[in-house]
Structure 1
Amino acid sequence: MKNNFKGRDFLSLMDFTREEVYELLDLAVELKRRHAIGDDPKPLQGRTIAMIFEKNSTRTRLSFQAGIAQLGGQSFYMRPDEMQLNRGEPIKDTARVIDRYCDALVIRTFGKERVEEFAHYMKNPVINALTDQEHPCQILADLMTIREKKGRLEGLKLTFAADLFNMAHSLLIACPLMGIDIAIAHPEGLKADPKIVEFAEETARKNGTKVVLTTDMSEALRDADVIYANTYHSMGTTEEERKQREAIFFPYRIDEEKVKVAKDDFIFLHCLPAYREEEMTESILEGPHSVVWDEAENRMHTEKAVLAAVVY
């Protein structure tokens, strides 16, 4: 690879240039091609990857574990309730021990400060598998999928309709960086992280792209090349909160009528899990525009690319 990724953390796409993101995407494409013909390279042979998931996961955990195995490495999943970290051990102590035993840490947790503290005390790379603020591994898979289906990234328009949590933040970082216009449709009163919005707008000015946050669903969807939905239920949401949020977000549900203003050849993304008839209709999720299952597969290949690039 042209750039030296070895030993670098993968915490946020803010830390990477457009050229570096393309290198990771190119590597993911090659790893996917080789996996399809049964010729997986083994850059992680003899390497051990620790995994801490303080939030539940299906796809992220499985894709990392499968990907590590395909690249010849071993993964060890540590349940939070089995760790001394859960009994008050400082992060810095846990981090320094993991650093002596393992070649990298994949962590899925709550605040980004926890990931950053692990990274501070570890010499080996730390990979952000999701925090409340960002989900960079998912976005890398999304970029791979868009490029795979559209043949390019630059000059496209992506519309995101959901809550302004980690996925919205990561798209705000990635889209202007990669030359994609982004429009986010959201209910009145919601606010994205102002520092991330500032980063997105500054990057957009440099790269000649557009960043729009609006309550107008039709405006956001107009001429979209990519339409992205996401669940608006956080883990631990009560039934009462769920009903309240369903009412608030129903006008932002992706359905056949709303997408008429998008490009005829738009593609539909969703990072899953998907709640049919809530954030999108069944016919959108299962329809001809949906590339959700390719997107899910590509998460494994982009995660493999990150691991192959950063692990010594």
Structure 2
Amino acid sequence: MGHTTRSHEHPACAPLSAAQAAALLDNARALQRAAGNGDRPLPLRGKNLGLWCDDDRERSAALFRRAASELGAHVAHIRPNLGEASSLHELHDTARMLGRLYDAVECQGLPAALVERLAAEAEVPVFDGIALPQHPTALLAGQLDGDSEADDRRCWLLQAALVAAVG
């Protein structure tokens, strides 16, 4: 629970500066090398992550679950129960509950304004679609070395972002 990380403040959740992109790529490359050597570090062992989306069978939800699970985290699916019309009280209570149960939360398919409000209230990192193909981190996948599958490269970038935020 430690500190409040708003989604627009964390490098994995917003447009990346050149330095942030370089650091994320360096960490993803380290994870890629470790996987190639058969060494799978578990820096998120014991961490609980929430995946807040309507359908956890979607490709981006599965990618998030894979990235987190391969690092040792447990991922729980949360069905959205808030909307943009939700009261501030409901939002505050939900954000507090998320902060108590999870070390980070990935929101997929929720209105950006709602995710921003949750991120402002929660005391854990709140990601706004970090596993979605249009997220800024997805563009970096092509810069990873080797002939790995696109999903593998995307997974290592997600893992690097998760370790930076949670690990």
Do Structure 1 and Structure 2 share a fold, with TM-score over 0.5?
yes
Distance 1:43 1:135 in 2: 26
Instruction: Give ranges in structure 1 of 5+ residues lacking alignment.
Output: 1-5, 150-290
Distance 2:19 2:142 in 1: 17
Change (3 A) 1:107 1:96: same
> Would you say how many aligned residue pairs link Structure 1 and Structure 2?
156
Deviation at 1:43, TM superposition (A): 1.1
- Aligned-CA RMSD value: 2.9
Using structure 2 for the length normalisation, give the TM-score: 0.78
Deviation at 1:56, TM superposition (A): 6.8
Native 8 Å contact 1:24 1:306 kept in 2: yes
TM alignment of 1:97-112, pairs within 5 A? 97-112=97-112
Counterpart of 2:38? 38
Structure with max Cα Rg:
1
**Letter in structure 1 aligned against 2:71:** L
Summarize deviations over 1:252-289 as a string: whole Å, max 9, x none.
xxxxxxxxxxxxxxxxxxxxxxxxxxxxxxxxxxxxxx
Larger relative CO (CA 8 A, sep 6+): 1 or 2?
Answer: 2
Distance 1:121 1:18 in 2: 28
Is 1:12 aligned with 2:14?
yes
Summarize deviations over 1:188-222 as a string: whole Å, max 9, x none.
xxxxxxxxxxxxxxxxxxxxxxxxxxxxxxxxxxx
Deviation at 1:23, TM superposition (A): 0.4
Distance 1:107 1:76 in 2: 12
Counterpart of 1:302? 157
Native 8 Å contact 2:56 2:77 kept in 1: no
Percent of matched pairs sharing the same residue: 25
Native 8 Å contact 1:52 1:108 kept in 2: yes
Using structure 1 for the length normalisation, give the TM-score: 0.44
Deviation at 1:111, TM superposition (A): 2.2
Deviation at 1:51, TM superposition (A): 0.8
Native 8 Å contact 1:25 1:140 kept in 2: no
Summarize deviations over 1:79-135 as a string: whole Å, max 9, x none.
33xx4x37x6723221110101110001112421011011000121111216xxx93
Deviation at 1:309, TM superposition (A): 0.5
Distance 2:116 2:49 in 1: 18
**Letter in structure 1 aligned against 2:138:** A
Change (3 A) 1:36 1:59: farther
Instruction: Give ranges in structure 2 of 5+ residues lacking alignment.
Output: none
Counterpart of 2:128? 128
**Letter in structure 2 aligned against 1:27:** N
Secondary structure, counterpart of 1:148 in structure 2: coil
Change (3 A) 1:121 1:7: closer
Distance 1:147 1:104 in 2: 25
Distance 2:92 2:119 in 1: 9
**Letter in structure 2 aligned against 1:310:** A
Counterpart of 1:198? none
